[in-house]
Amino acid sequence: MRSAIVLAAGKGTRMKSSLCKVMHPVLNKPMIGHIVSTLKAANVDRIVVVVGHGAESVKEYLKDSVEYALQEPQLGTGHAVMQANVLEHEDGDTIVLCGDGPCIQKETILNAFEANKDYACTVLTSVLEKGGNYGRIIRNEDGMVEKIVEAKDCSKDELEVNEINTGIFCFKTQKLFDGLKNITTNNAQNEYYLTDLVEIFNRKGEKVNAMVVEDKDETMGVNDRVDLAKANVWLKKHVNHKHMVNGVTILDPENTYIDVDVEIGSDTVIYPNVHLQGNTKIGSNVTILPNSYLCNAIIENNVKIDSSKVVDSKVGEGSTVGPMSHLRNNTVIGNNCRIGNFVEFKNSNFGNGSKCAHLTYIGDSDVGERVNFGCGVVTVNYDGKNKYRTVVEDDAFIGSNCNLIAPVTIGKSALLAAGSTITSSVKDGDMGIARSRQTVVKGYGTKYKNK
């Protein structure tokens, strides 16, 4: 049985924020969300999140994906773990993590369980240039951990130690809850320190193991906005690296922003200043040119996106989008379509092989296959009170600068003459023309100029 306790009840005073600390996003996902996803990826059986400050917002976000323990008031990390006593009767191991450490990776969690196989407790440590505010790891002659001393409780010599407590521990679950009965608040901060368990285990004749985490930044704790920025940079680098190893070309990884849950196929090329967010899924051999923003987008193979925005929408195989286009609100673009310059789509379907190359708004519309939209077409979907749909069937041709006043249906292979304002439906094969006939006033141009 593998359990996890995530400490997330603290206020996070140094964030200077009305949002509780663990809800602050890193790569657009709350820190607590990263930790829970990673624990799930590591197949941990039970996850208990200890909440206190901001409990409601954490619960609203994580919903019933985890179990909760309420810590009220917050009397320290040891006290926080005591509240997770729903795990008291479990066998096996429990990993304890801090909710403000969003960068922890699945492999490290699995390694921690493995490292604790023959111990009551394994502390995950890292070696820094300077120990700063972190708890110091004091080892005994055998190299095992003798105690952890909080910076505020350190002697001068102890402060010199640069191996620190990452705040992540793996325990034998039974020994954890047993040991907690012995901790006190006898320290500089009058708190129940989880770290005191190390000395307690030693007194009971248990050896405490240390596992050094190689990348010291993976276990960093976010305490203020400066740390938050560091965590963003670290995780971004890590995510981009993973995609590059998987066969994605990223021209400038420092200036490419990909959320952790985004999927990308091989041979896709991503230019600088591209943002890929949420549950975006991108196929193979896709090209995403600079300044594109995709959120919850599904992009199939061989698509090209040029300086465009795609939100909650899908683009089918072989299509091209942009420059400067915006697809949003459940728009579905078929295969081999061309969405050109300055085009906006909202809540619309666009069939295979259809084209819409310039300056067009298509909203609340169902467009068939091989339809051509000229320049500057507008579907007039809103009368100020209600929205209506526009239907354009296969092979229709919509001339430039037409307005389609919805609800309206343009039949198969129908033609709309350029500059028409279409207020009633046009049947299959017919032409709709709705504009006044031109008159020519002979010689007036010259006359006007000379006036």
7 binds, among Ca ion, ligand UD1, none (CB under 5 to 8 A by kind): ligand UD1
Kindly give, in sequence order, each residue whose CB lies less than 8 Å from that of residue 222, ignoring residues fewer than 6 positions away.
21, 24, 26, 31, 100, 101, 102, 228, 230, 231
Interacting span for ligand UD1 (CB under 6 A) from 97-105, 338-346, 384-392, 428-436? 97-105
Among 38, 74, 173, 302, binds ligand UD1 (CB under 6 A): 74
Helices marked H in 138-294: 156-159, 173-180, 197-203, 225-245
148 and 123 Cβ atoms separated by less than 8 Å: yes
Please report whether residue 221 would count as binding Ca ion according to CB under 5 A.
yes
Comparing C-alpha atoms, which of 322, 364, 363, 329 is closest to residue 343?
Answer: 322
Angle, CA 268 vertex, CA 267 and CA 274 arms, to 5°: 155
- Write out the H or E segment, with its range, that includes residue 246: none
77 binds, among ligand UD1, Ca ion, none (CB under 5 to 8 A by kind): ligand UD1
Nearer to ligand UD1, 100 or 259 (CB): 100
CB of 221 to Ca ion, least distance (A): 4
172 binds, among Ca ion, ligand UD1, none (CB under 5 to 8 A by kind): none
CB of 219 to Ca ion, least distance (A): 11
Interacting span for ligand UD1 (CB under 6 A) from 8-16, 262-270, 355-363, 389-397? 8-16
Nearer to ligand UD1, 221 or 340 (CB): 221
* Annotated active-site residue in 53, 89, 326, 358: 358
Look up residue 450 and give its DSSP letter: H
Burial class (CB in 10 A: 0-12, 13-18, 19+), 342: middle
Pairing of strands 365-367, 378-380: unpaired
Burial class (CB in 10 A: 0-12, 13-18, 19+), 258: buried
Measured in residues, the chain has a length of 451
Please report whether residue 30 would count as binding Ca ion according to CB under 5 A.
no
Among 4, 5, 8, 426, binds ligand UD1 (CB under 6 A): 8
Please report whether residue 122 would count as binding ligand UD1 according to CB under 6 A.
no
319 and 339 Cβ atoms separated by less than 8 Å: yes
58 binds, among Ca ion, ligand UD1, none (CB under 5 to 8 A by kind): none
Structure-block tokens of residue 59:
């619960």
326 belongs to the catalytic site: no
Q: How many residues bind Ca ion (CB under 5 A)?
A: 1
Interacting span for Ca ion (CB under 5 A) from 33-41, 157-165, 213-221, 437-445? 213-221
199 binds, among ligand UD1, Ca ion, none (CB under 5 to 8 A by kind): none
Restricting to residues 164-203, which ones interact with ligand UD1 according to CB under 6 A? Answer: 164-167, 193-195
Please report whether residue 304 would count as binding ligand UD1 according to CB under 6 A.
no
Largest CA distance in the chain: 110
Kindly give, in sequence order, each residue whose CB lies less than 8 Å from that of residue 233, ignoring residues fewer than 6 positions away.
none
Interacting span for ligand UD1 (CB under 6 A) from 95-103, 176-184, 294-302, 329-337? 95-103
Kindly give, in sequence order, each residue whose CB lies less than 8 Å from that of residue 179, ignoring residues fewer than 6 positions away.
120, 171, 197, 200, 201, 204
Please report whether residue 99 would count as binding ligand UD1 according to CB under 6 A.
yes
CB of 173 to ligand UD1, least distance (A): 18
Please report whether residue 126 would count as binding ligand UD1 according to CB under 6 A.
no
> Which parts of this chain interact with ligand UD1 (CB under 6 A)?
7-10, 50, 71, 74-77, 79-80, 98-100, 134-135, 148, 150, 164-167, 193-195, 221
Q: Catalogue the active-site residues.
A: 358
